Amino acid sequence: MKGIVPGLGLASGLGYKESLAIRGQSMKRVVASAIAGLLLVSAAMAERSELGELHVTEVVGGLEHPWALAFLPNGQGSLITERPGRLRLLDAQGRLGAALAGVPAVFAKGQGGLLDVALSPGFATDRLVYLSYAEADAHGELAGTAVGHGRLSDDGMALENFRVIFRQQPKLSSGIHFGSRLAFDREGYLFVSLGENNQRSTAQDLNKLQGKLVRLQADGSVPEDNPFTGRADARAEIWSYGHRNPQGLALNPWSGRLWLHEHGPRGGDEINIPDKGRNYGWPLATHGVNYSFLPIPEAAGERVAGTEPPHHVWEKSPAISGMAFYDAERFPAWQHNLFIGALASQALIRLQLEGDRVVHEERLLEDRDWRIRDVRLGPDGYLYLLTDAADGKLLRLGLAGDR
């Protein structure tokens, strides 16, 4: 399997931080994978958590580095992206379809490929599906994040009339730090999180779209009240800046505010609640250091004047990806919790909230050997997890004694 051999680095789609966590553990992984494989034969696996017994069910396997999940309305199934460039329909009976036609070509190198998927707020009438992906330059050597949408055909087998509505400029990535997550707010604005392509200084450059959170109309046009609209020295799409590699974006269902999380370097993964026009620090302010253990050259400390401190920070990076707030009725014990996937530490992180404050953390599924790439709340009140592997899985998670 890709991504579990000691010594594999960025070429396998892993960050250096993730590779370090993997080295020296090949035998542990082989044994754990064999055990997990046997357990998955049964209908569900169980383990204890602070809030009760967890039940984990494999919904479907055989996914190649799945990246994101979106549920279709009215029990029509779900859409799953695979990083090599496939969009798959999982129907309501749990049958995984062939790759949909009409998906754009992607730059499937390193961490690049087909990334996030989101449904239009008006999907019930327009059937529009939004995709983010790594798009190559004219020479096929460098890439940037792009976003587009197409209409899901009535038979669910194709995206029709796919149109690109946004391109990260300039294209600077050789295969890492693309971001990228998609989220619509309550007013229908589309937010796109963008990595800095491992070009640190660009996160502070308002003339570039690296290391930014951008805010768009659903058609890709720029809202007139964006913070930098009308400035010659800044891109009008930008909502906030100073981000490193944000791979989590979700709307808080209680406050209506957008939450974003991003990878730090060696240390300093963080959650932010991005405000209009604010600077979130990277690389000037960080809790992390370079993978060589040397300081980040541009960094002036953990807090720097003119930048916003993180809302929540991990001094040791779990390598966070995907997140979901829990506001369903099925499991009352999970109400006002935030669930985040972890790639390097191979866990599901449960954060208990009081208002916006994080008051407690629990690590779940730590012995499963799963790199959790995405976390979504299903319409049935269960949590759904995607595991990042050559033989990736969609898992369903719940508590015993559900309603």
As a whole number of angstroms, the distance between CA 63 and CA 371 comes to: 13
Which residues, in sequence order, are bridge partners of residue 398?
Answer: 55
> Where does the pLDDT of residue 307 fall: very low under 50, low under 70, confident under 90, or very high at 90 and above?
very high
State the average pLDDT over residues 384-391. Answer: 98
Q: Report pLDDT digits (tens) over 67-78.
A: 999 999 999 999
pLDDT at 24: 41
Q: How confident is the model at residue 8 (pLDDT cuts 50, 70, 90)?
A: very low
Position 401 scores a pLDDT of: 76
Higher model confidence: residue 218 or residue 35? 218
Residue type, 399: L
pLDDT of 104 over the 90 cut:
yes
Any catalytic annotation for residue 312? no
Q: What is the DSSP letter of 301?
A: B
- Measure Cα distances from 226 to 216, 237, 294 in Å: 9, 7, 37
pLDDT at position 215, please?
98
Query: What pLDDT, on a 0 to 100 scale, did the predictor assign at position 44?
Result: 65
- Active-site residue among 65, 177, 243, 261? 177
- Which pLDDT score, from 0 to 100, does residue 91 have? 95
C-alpha span between 170 and 182 (Å, rounded): 20
Residue 94 has pLDDT above 60, yes or no: yes
Give, in degrees to the nearest 5, the angle at Cα 168 between 345 and 134. 55
Q: What is the mean pLDDT of the chain?
A: 90
* pLDDT greater than 50 at residue 37: no
In the chain, what are the domain boundaries?
10-399
Burial class, 316, CB count within 10 angstroms (exposed 0-12 / middle 13-18 / buried 19+):
middle
Mean pLDDT of 117-128: 97
| CB atoms closer than 10 angstroms to residue 392 | 24
- Could you tell me if 260 and 320 are in contact, meaning their C-beta atoms sit under 8 angstroms apart? no
Position 402 scores a pLDDT of: 63
pLDDT at 128: 98
Per-residue pLDDT, averaged over 357-383, amounts to: 97
Q: Per-residue pLDDT tens for 190-236?
A: 999 999 999 999 999 999 999 999 999 999 999 999 999 999 999 99
- Residue 359 parent element (H or E): strand 357-364
10-399 CATH fold: Neuraminidase (2.120.10)
For residue 37, the surrounding DSSP H or E stretch is helix 26-39
Contact 196, 243 (CB under 8 A): yes
Q: What is the DSSP string of 379-391?
A: TTS-EEEEE-STT
Whole-model pTM? Answer: 0.89
pLDDT exceeds 80 at position 38:
no
C-alpha to C-alpha distance for 77 and 276, rounded to whole angstroms: 35
* Structure tokens that stand for 215 in this block: 């805010």
